[in-house]
Structure 1
Amino acid sequence: MRQTWRLLWQAALFAGVAWLADFAVRVLDMPVPGNVLGIIALFLLLCAGIVKESWISEAAPFLLRHLVFFFIPVAVGLMNWGEVFYDYGWVLLGAIVGSTALPLLVTGWLAGALRRKAAKEKTQ
């Protein structure tokens, strides 16, 4: 029972950060989604030590394990967009493949360049 309460409290902490971030986005009329601001805020709170890792150590893996359930409503909602996928399917596929491949390629190139630079400095 104690573990259940701890899990609920930790999930409430996540929900609170998300709610506050969403509220801040609406009040300040920011051009950033509330969930993105919430992730950034949680990261900064963890880095600053205001929120301890142990405060979210049980809820985070639980929520990640069940993440697929949060996407079911989105997938069902996409069924109403069949005509868009039919008309623009290749464009959407190209955008998805491009937006996936480009960051991977840039990250790989940057990691390789930094590694070569570190190896070059090490030999000097």
Structure 2
Amino acid sequence: MPSTGLPLSSSPILLLVASNVFMTFAWYGHLKFKAIPIWVAILASWGIAFFEYCLAVPANRIGHGVYTTAELKTIQEVITLTVFAGFSVLVMKEPLTLNHAVGFTLIVAGAYFIFRGPL
């Protein structure tokens, strides 16, 4: 594999961030365009999701050389929530509440224990 100059541990994270941006738009972007027929929204979402897979599959393939599958899934979930929170506020103009902050904090606490190692 050609060298990108990035540490091997960073590449899957950057690819997962990019893939999550695509997937968030594929799953939720059509909500800004409710006047379009649902079949158009589905086809557009599939088209966007193709690019998400083009990033997510290599991210996991590269990442599995550095992280366990549980760690990869945890990284992906934390990235998903971070990207989704930004999308929710910036694109959908929906506020995040204290309940969201508490829920996200509990997920981050779970991530801590995944990476901490055996108890």
Structure number with greater Rg is 1
Structure holding more helix per residue = 1
Q: Greater RCO between the two (CA within 8 Å, min separation 6)?
A: 2
